Homo-oligomer: A and B are copies of this chain.
Amino acid sequence: MTTSASPSLAVNVGGIAMQNPVTVASGTFGYGVEYADWLDVRRLGAITVKGIRLEAWPGNPLPRHVEVPGGLVNAIGLQGPGVAGFIAQYLPRLREFGVPVIVNIWGTTVEEYAEVAARLSDVPGIAGLEVNVSCPNVKAGGSAFGADPATMAGVVAAVRRRTPLPVIPKLAPNVPAMGPFARAAAEAGADALSLVNTLPAMVIDIERRRPVLANRVGGLSGACIHPVAVKHVYDAAQAVKLPILAMGGIQEAREAIEFLIAGATAVAVGTANFIDPSTPLRVIDGIRDYLVRHQMRDVAQLTGSLAVS
């Protein structure tokens, strides 16, 4: 794929070696297999799958989503097959793609997070764990663990103790400052950071005077959250040395390049997959073109290259 003149796109995110810096955001790409008919998933830097807890989980009632200007509000509620179901139904096929698999995990207790991590560490074919402490759509678990640095760090430390896999906490954007969260995660043993999750949001049907979503609230994703995410990525990169996996509103290579310049090592395409499944590949190509045009030999030169006066 790369000729000698072509810049190097390979990156390493906390121990996960990726052929290029582009993965997909958890929950927007199913378990990898669903989109396999629609793009060459072997070209991705990694595949990040939908959140998994210990047991199967039904998710929220419908409606689970609503479109808003420049974005999408979802409250899927982390429906999933549980660890055993994931390993049996999806992992074999995922392994065949030959790209690193990042599993997004969550739990309703700290112990559950750790247990999920341990179980996933026993099976081959998983490259790393993204620890979701920021899902706004479940009552227990999710954002309840991500609202303050100490609680979040407790989850990260518990997971860390039970797995040799790279641990990547996924942080919430609705915080006053990302620095304290980034530092707490680093101290708790995180190998990289993933940011950001969706912004808690609510949409009301004014005719019925009811929330549109059955879950009342959901998480805002898509183009409109990109400038918010870039600020968080920049702040996290200033605070810690950990590699950052950045996401939020990537639609084209441009938004991904902003993340890299702000300090991200890799990026994930989320909501845009729904609109155009070829987005991750266009982003990979766009990053390569940018590097060529700016005479950079390695995407690492882009990471953190922001000049501030």
Contact = CB atoms under 8 A, between A and B. Distances in A.
Contacts of A228: 174, 199-201, 220
Interface in A199-231: 199-204, 206, 208-211, 216-217, 220, 223-228, 230-231
Contacts of A69: 70, 223-224, 226
B209 A220 contact: no
A203 B174 contact: no
Interface stretch (A81-89, A107-115, A254-262): A254-262
A175 B200 CA distance: 10
Contact of A209 (B176, B177, B306): B306
* Chain A contact surface mostly: mixed
A224 B257 contact: no
Contacts of A200: 228, 231
A1 interface: no
Contact of A224 (B146, B217, B224, B307): B224
A147 B177 contact: yes
Contact of A68 (B211, B227, B309): B227
Number of copies: 2
Contacts of A203: 227, 230, 258
Interface residues of A, number: 49
A275 interface: no
A184 to B, nearest CB: 14
A73 interface: yes
B209 A227 contact: no
Nearest to A218: B227
A147 B177 CA distance: 8
17 contacts: A69-B223, A69-B224, A71-B224, A71-B227, A148-B176, A174-B176, A175-B175, A199-B228, A200-B231, A201-B227, A202-B230, A202-B262, A203-B230, A206-B254, A209-B306, A209-B307, A217-B234
Nearest first, the 10 closest Cβ-Cβ pairs linking A and B are A70-B70, A224-B224, A201-B227, A147-B176, A202-B231, A204-B258, A69-B223, A202-B230, A206-B257, A70-B224
Interface of A: 68-71, 73, 143, 146-148, 172-177, 199-204, 206, 208-211, 216-217, 220, 223-228, 230-231, 234, 254, 257-258, 261-262, 290, 305-309
